[in-house]
Amino acid sequence: MVATRQPATRRRRSEEMVDTAGIPPETLLEIYETMCLSKAMDDRVWVLAHSGEIALAVSCHGHEALQVASIYALRRGYDWMVPYYRDSAAALAMGLTPRDMMLAFFARREDSFSGARQFPNHFSSRTLNILSGSSDIATQIPHGVGIALASKMRKEDRVTITYFGDGATSEGDFHEAMNFAAVLKIPVIFLCENNEYAISVPRRKQMAIDDISNKAVGYGMPGVSVDGRDVFAVYRAVQEAAARARRGEGPTLVVANTYRIDPHTSNDPDRFYRDPKEITEQRKHDPVLRFSAFLNQHGFLTEEQDAAIAARVAAQVDEATDYARSAPQPVPEDAALYLYGN
Amino acid sequence: MVATRQPATRRRRSEEMVDTAGIPPETLLEIYETMCLSKAMDDRVWVLAHSGEIALAVSCHGHEALQVASIYALRRGYDWMVPYYRDSAAALAMGLTPRDMMLAFFARREDSFSGARQFPNHFSSRTLNILSGSSDIATQIPHGVGIALASKMRKEDRVTITYFGDGATSEGDFHEAMNFAAVLKIPVIFLCENNEYAISVPRRKQMAIDDISNKAVGYGMPGVSVDGRDVFAVYRAVQEAAARARRGEGPTLVVANTYRIDPHTSNDPDRFYRDPKEITEQRKHDPVLRFSAFLNQHGFLTEEQDAAIAARVAAQVDEATDYARSAPQPVPEDAALYLYGN
Amino acid sequence: MPQKLVIEAINDALREEMRRDETVFCIGQDIGAGGGVFLVTQGLQNEFGPDRVIDSPLAESAIIGVSIGAAANGMRPVAEMQFFDYILPAMEQIANEAAKMRWRSFNTWGVPMVMRAPTGGGVTGGIYHSQSLEAMFTNIPGLKVVLPATPYDAKGLLKAAIRDPDPVLYLEHKKTYRSIRGEVPDGDYVVPIGKAEVKRTGNNLTIVTWGLMVHYALDAAAQLEQEGISIEVVDLRTLLPVDNETILESVKKTGKALVVYEANRTGGFGGEIASTIAEFAFEHLDGPVTRLASPDIPAMPWNHPQEAFFMLSPEKIAAAARKLAAY
Amino acid sequence: MPQKLVIEAINDALREEMRRDETVFCIGQDIGAGGGVFLVTQGLQNEFGPDRVIDSPLAESAIIGVSIGAAANGMRPVAEMQFFDYILPAMEQIANEAAKMRWRSFNTWGVPMVMRAPTGGGVTGGIYHSQSLEAMFTNIPGLKVVLPATPYDAKGLLKAAIRDPDPVLYLEHKKTYRSIRGEVPDGDYVVPIGKAEVKRTGNNLTIVTWGLMVHYALDAAAQLEQEGISIEVVDLRTLLPVDNETILESVKKTGKALVVYEANRTGGFGGEIASTIAEFAFEHLDGPVTRLASPDIPAMPWNHPQEAFFMLSPEKIAAAARKLAAY
Ligand SMILES: Cc1ncc(C[n+]2csc(CCOP(=O)(O)OP(=O)(O)O)c2C)c(N)n1
Ligand SMILES: Cc1ncc(C[n+]2csc(CCOP(=O)(O)OP(=O)(O)O)c2C)c(N)n1
Ligand SMILES: [Mg+2]
Ligand SMILES: [Mg+2]
């Protein structure tokens, strides 16, 4: 994916000079690989949806940088994530595997998120601290506050990050959760993924402001807007928000601005409401390409490394697809399981 | 109610010099009289509640200036009002009478708001453009937006004012309505009556900001905070908001800061949650006394006038009380009326 | 007579009503350029402009709350909830405001508005795009609830709902949108709210049902006819206020009643119907009033095998009817 | 055994559970210094501090939504809705989130939380402080709904609810708070969720009811005893999951069933009970399963004459039972 390659001799020097927000080189490559993996997964699920092998594609093209960087800014395995359906790259960064994802897309019995009860991309993992979400917009935001409240009550220094889109900010639940967290100084990070659309509704029909971080003002919490296609900008913002939260100073709203390159889902005929030229234009700012170019330019990523990553990613996606494709269907009667606990 | 009286000779001059926000002297007296009436009504309903003659007192002590001034800043009989239960002074300013109010307090058949179906102070009048409200906090805010949307669709230049408390700002409906109005540039005024409490919950447990008008920022609408015990400050702010709305520039949030002098209702044992000293302190800023002093100081109100007003007000309250007291009870079976229209 | 799909009948009704009465307007998420996620409102924004086909922010409570205000001030809003599942944030506005406005104001104010929402399952909608939540709304006097099964009823009931002086929850079964075609006369007509219809006459047993299940019941009835069992199918069409008269008349004739509904069994609206029959047709009953509904699990699973497990079908209905008929 | 009021029993249960288990905490509007508008939580903030008795902002959806998150992360929140009428803004969180969390995550997550809400009328609460909205919650599998009538059950069921692994809607009839006194043993005990109780045995007719109506039914039964009519009173206690076994056993014995509930008649939870009886006790019925409920008007009027018109009473219940007994 790297366009222009740098000679190996220039690499070392560059590495010393460039500010990578304190992210060590190995981690930069890990972040990059996760972004590539997400992109490859997205590409695959669209193919599978178009061929009819799966019933629904949901993807996060354009969100890779912000999602992966925001997770890497936290203590993975320790902090909490409350995602929505758009967060597949973030979920991979947390530790979910392509197989986990594909089992959900294929609606297989083994789907660890929901036993194929839910739509795909409705992530859930107790071991990874990823709370199960619904399809309802914005309902997860108070859940994130509640998880963080519990951490705070137990005096743990864990933080919770909760994700939502630009459209979700219009819902009452966004507002109630933001206010609640600010009043009680809850260690939560509100990460708004502004991709300019809520299905067909453009941002200017969703709100009368341009900078979504202004929404923090009315709650008395810090708000910051960053380029959501810039790994470092997002990383820094989330790192700072996490530090604040751990210091007991309460929540932060981080707005990561990007663009939804794919249609909302494979059920969404986006030609009705947006100009294909707009998409073409936005593809130029693909965060994966941009990060790749950066890594190469500054000597963090060689052509060989990139090729190896591409190969690993492709193999993983293939393996996951094949595995899920041939995995068994759910048993009809199992739908009755787990109405109540005991 | 006037403390120190000014000699008559000084009156004329003062009248010319003082800035009364363009309110003519007769109107100043009308505003004052309405405020006195509200205060006298409030005093009476507490007496009636304590004696057990009525089941519930709800009052607006401390809100008189902001409520009456905000209505006088509009075109009464033309513009719309969407109140909540705290808005008795505003409702009187709109043209409801003490009798209307008392019939509701006594739960009499003739109650024009609801036929005594609702609690008192749940105003309603089609001729006066006062929409019926529920007891639910914040639900009226989107109603105000809808009324104004209809005016806008018909290209009328009417504005709608919708009232709510500081506590109401925490509800999702506040948020959704504010955002909606800003996006669609609806000719509505959001008037927040900040009285520092939502029943027992003090403002600092309700929100993490001190100036509620900051809440406008996230919606992209102007927000202004004014001294809610200052008739002129409120009048100017609402007048400006109304002008904006009529110019098609959309909504404004006006926050009028005051203090709830009485308990929430006569069912509320406020000694559990606030220090009586706080109330004593706040009584010093009684907006009715303050306005009275101003009017007298600047020669708008003579002692005789004030006495006449007091007498008229007392007579009205007496008359309304007597009338309602002896008005007939509702007929049990009439509860079944008006399930649906036709 | 022209044949139309349910979705076309609804689109026609909206278009004709908006042409007829300029106080009628549509409001909802994605209903404009997008035409709604099911394309029910396709073409309307083109014809009537963005001020009468309003793309609202993503806020159900505001959509309903704003519509209430507009309705009180002389307009006739038709609000779309993108899925019935997502009407829940607006519950307070619907139950405590819209439904109570007239009564609480002693007839001073009315709220002539329609809330459209796609209900039901069987379209791989999974948990949150398949729920049949009508029982949450049928204990709310002041509200009207309709659920047409055919294109004819869909058009006529939507027109009636738009012209009604009170708030009407107009449910559209999303599976019928493009799977049910039927005769729809050109031009204006209304199907009255509050009237059930016998969609098929029979003597041995009455099936009372609504929505998609009307078609499944008719299929089941056709199967059972081969077996010599004659089924009457009553399509409620309106759930609130419910037409007990038509139901009771039918059951008094057949002596047996099977109430079929797609929602979860316990606490579903079928309980209302069955208990009305049990109370007021008691002396005519030749067998227990029987309910057939979806199992009491939280929702419709997304995967196909379990979706089929959850959903009723003509076969499941036929089996239940056969058993009751043999009682 | 000590005699306690319902409100004392609830306060005791909260206090004892908070002492027993430090993951239990309370959250709601005005519950702290104010002790709640009914004073149910009085003294708790004093004992446990403002971090475990949290005065929340005025936001029902957040109260429930935040509680869900806290419950998923190891806590046991007890959320207070100031009035049952004001639970509606939280409907989406309750129905689509709390009730579905366990099932949708294939048992990975659970939401052990209690939602307390004062229900019912008869206390001059008027339209918006008197509603009996249980039917909005009884078609939601995954949720549990309880409504104790006595101090004993109030304490035991609240303890059971707090210890339950799933979300429990715990309804408190506000008129019982200070009007119903009864024996409550000192110390710890639990009343199991999902178990109805025969509160009075009888042979001629079964009254199935819940909440305040249990007491009215007992009063009616006492009256009717003088007339030689022997009434059995089944107190549901838990509405979801409902104890059909106890209901059916009683009706099979008496042969007649009167279902009494305070909510609006149409679409109320009584329909579920009556239709279950009609279906599964059919052969034992000596008269129609009869429902007695409040009229289908939007709400409880505030004024006294109409409040009395709306509310059921021992006399109204006795009249209906007398009529059915004579069938
Ligand atoms: C309460 C609710 N209302 C409506 C929907 C339908 N819906 C699904 S996704 C969506 C748009 C969400 O947009 P945004 O929050 O910007 O997230 P994005 O998909 O752009 O990442 C809508 C309206 C829903 N799922 N939930
Ligand atoms: C949705 C809802 N939740 C809770 C209540 C109970 N309640 C009635 S008044 C009130 C406080 C309102 O405070 P505020 O908005 O500041 O208005 P104020 O009474 O101070 O004028 C509360 C919580 C309610 N009426 N509606
Ligand atoms: Mg978006
Ligand atoms: Mg207040």
Helix axes C270-280, C244-254, angle to 10 degrees: 60
Q: What is the pLDDT of residues D33-71, one digit of tens each?
A: 989 999 999 999 999 999 999 999 999 999 999 999 999
Residue B2, pLDDT above cutoff 60: no
Per-residue DSSP letter, D173: E
Ligand 2 geometric centre to CA of A326 (Å):
57
Which CATH number applies to C3-183? 3.40.50.970
Cis peptide before C241 (omega within 30 of 0): yes
Q: Of all residues in chain A, what percent carry a pLDDT higher than 70? A: 95
State which ligand 2 atom lies nearest to the alpha carbon of B139: 1
Q: Which residue of B has its CA nearest to A205?
A: B183
pLDDT (tens, 9 = 90+) of chain C, 327 residues, equals 899 999 999 999 999 999 999 999 999 999 999 899 999 999 999 999 999 999 999 999 999 999 999 999 999 999 999 999 999 999 999 999 999 999 999 999 999 999 999 999 999 999 999 999 999 999 999 999 999 999 999 999 999 999 999 999 999 999 999 999 999 999 999 999 999 999 999 999 999 999 999 999 999 999 999 999 999 999 999 999 999 999 999 999 999 999 999 999 999 999 999 999 999 999 999 999 999 999 999 999 999 999 999 999 999 999 999 999 999
pLDDT score of A16: 58
Residue A1, pLDDT above cutoff 60: no
Q: Kindly state the tokens that stand for C326.
A: 């043999």
Q: What is the pLDDT of residues A300-330, one digit of tens each?
A: 999 999 999 999 999 999 999 999 999 999 9
In angstroms, the CA C211 to CA C223 distance is 20
Per-residue DSSP letter, B130: B
Q: Is D49 left (phi over 0), alpha (psi -120 to 50) or beta?
A: left
Q: Is there a contact between C278 and D280 (Cβ–Cβ < 8 Å)?
A: no
Residue B11, pLDDT above cutoff 60: no
Q: What is the pLDDT of residues A148-204, one digit of tens each?
A: 999 999 999 999 999 999 999 999 999 999 999 999 999 999 999 999 999 999 999
Q: Kindly state the tokens that stand for B104.
A: 């509701």
Residue B138, pLDDT above cutoff 80: yes
| Subunit partners of chain D (3 or more CB pairs within 8 A) | A, B, C
By CB neighbour count within 10 A (0-12 exposed, 13-18 middle, 19+ buried), where does A266 fall?
middle
Q: Kindly state the tokens that stand for B139.
A: 């639900």
| Subunit partners of chain B (3 or more CB pairs within 8 A) | A, C, D
Contact check, Cβ <8 Å, C271/D272:
yes
Average pLDDT rounded to a whole number, residues B288-305: 97
Q: Kindly state the tokens that stand for B43.
A: 């005093």
Q: What is the pLDDT of residues C183-208, one digit of tens each?
A: 999 999 999 999 999 999 999 999 99
Beta strand pairing call for C3-5 and C181-183:
antiparallel
Beta strand pairing call for C181-183 and D231-235:
unpaired
Q: What is the pLDDT of residues D68-83, one digit of tens each?
A: 999 999 999 999 999 9
Average pLDDT rounded to a whole number, residues A264-280: 96
Best interface-test mutation with A: which of B136, B176, B179 has the largest number of A CBs within 10 A?
A: B179
| Subunit partners of chain C (3 or more CB pairs within 8 A) | A, B, D
Q: What is the mean pLDDT of chain A?
A: 95
- Between A4 and B240, the more confident residue is B240
pLDDT score of C76: 98
Is B260 an active-site residue?
yes
- Residue in B149, B151, B181, B167 with CA at minimum distance from that of residue B253: B181
pLDDT score of A43: 98
In angstroms, the CA D105 to CA D101 distance is 6
* CA–CA–CA angle B137, B143, B147 (5° rounding): 155
pLDDT score of D1: 83
Residue D200, pLDDT above cutoff 70: yes
Per-residue DSSP letter, A125: B
Q: What is the pLDDT of residues A27-45, one digit of tens each?
A: 999 999 999 999 999 999 9
Beta strand pairing call for C197-200 and C181-183:
unpaired
Helix axes B303-326, B287-297, angle to 10 degrees: 150
pLDDT score of B17: 73
Contact check, Cβ <8 Å, D127/C140:
no
Identify the band that residue B183 occupies on the pLDDT scale cut at 50, 70 and 90. very high
Residue A11, pLDDT above cutoff 90: no
Residue A342, pLDDT above cutoff 90: no
In this structure, the dihedral spanned by the alpha carbons of residues C25, C28, C31 and C34, taken in order and rounded to 10 degrees, is 150
* Nearby residues of B237 by Cβ (< 8 Å), 6 or more positions away: B73, B224, B226, B254, B256
Residue A3, pLDDT above cutoff 80: no
In angstroms, the CA B274 to CA D75 distance is 31
pLDDT score of C1: 83
The one catalytic residue in A86, A236, A264, A298 is A264
Mutate to test the pocket of ligand 2, among B67, B84, B137, B266 (most ligand atoms within 8 A of CB): B137
pLDDT score of A17: 73
In angstroms, the CA D35 to CA D44 distance is 8
Q: Across the strands, what pairs with D168?
A: D114, D144
CB atoms within 10 A of CB C190: 16
Q: Of all residues in chain D, what percent carry a pLDDT higher than 90? A: 98
Residue B16, pLDDT above cutoff 80: no
State which ligand 1 atom lies nearest to the alpha carbon of A63: 21
Q: Which contacts of A237-244 are long-range, i.e. CB under 8 A and separated by 24 or more positions?
A: A237/A73, A238/A69, A238/A70, A238/A73, A238/A74, A238/A161, A238/A189, A238/A191, A239/A21, A239/A73, A241/A159, A241/A189, A242/A73, A242/A74, A242/A79, A242/A159, A242/A161, A242/A189
State which ligand 2 atom lies nearest to the alpha carbon of B193: 21
* CA–CA–CA angle B93, C64, C157 (5° rounding): 120
Average pLDDT rounded to a whole number, residues B306-319: 98
Q: Is there a contact between A120 and A58 (Cβ–Cβ < 8 Å)?
A: yes
Query: Tokens 């129609």 sit at which residue?
Result: D288
Gap from C322 CA to chain A (nearest CA, Å): 23
Domain range B40-268+315-327, CATH class: alpha beta
Indicate the residue type of C98.
A
Contact check, Cβ <8 Å, A149/D70:
yes
Chain A hits for D61, CB-CB cut-off 8 Å, are 142, 172-173, 176
Q: For chain A, which residues make up each domain, given as ranges?
A: 40-268+315-327
Q: Kindly state the tokens that stand for C54.
A: 């309003």
Residue D130, pLDDT above cutoff 80: yes
Nearest CB among C88, C299, C308 relative to A332 is that of: C308
Best interface-test mutation with A: which of D67, D73, D97 has the largest number of A CBs within 10 A?
A: D73
- C-alpha A284, offset from chain centre: 20
Q: What is the pLDDT of residues A38-95, one digit of tens each?
A: 999 999 999 999 999 999 999 999 999 999 999 999 999 999 999 999 999 999 999 9
- Between A248 and B1, the more confident residue is A248
Chain D hits for B324, CB-CB cut-off 8 Å, are none
Q: For chain D, which residues make up each domain, given as ranges?
A: 3-183, 197-325
Gap from D296 CA to chain B (nearest CA, Å): 8
Ligand 3 geometric centre to CA of A194 (Å):
5
Residues having CB closer than 6 A to ligand 2 are: B 86, 135-137, 164-168, 193, 195, 197-199, 260, 264; D 29, 58, 60, 82, 86, 89
In angstroms, the CA D142 to CA D140 distance is 6
| Fold agreement (C3-183, C197-325) | yes
Chain B hits for D34, CB-CB cut-off 8 Å, are 199-201, 272-273
In angstroms, the CA A147 to CA D21 distance is 18
How many residues can be counted in chain A?
Answer: 342
Query: Tokens 């743990």 sit at which residue?
Result: A156
Strand ranges in chain C using DSSP code E only, listed in sequence order: 3-5, 24-28, 53-55, 76-80, 114-119, 144-146, 168-173, 181-183, 197-200, 205-209, 231-235, 238-240, 257-264, 290-294
The one catalytic residue in A273, A274, A290, A323 is A273
pLDDT score of B9: 47
Query: Considering the domain C197-325, what is its CATH architecture?
Result: 3-Layer(aba) Sandwich (3.40)
Q: What is the mean pLDDT of chain B?
A: 95
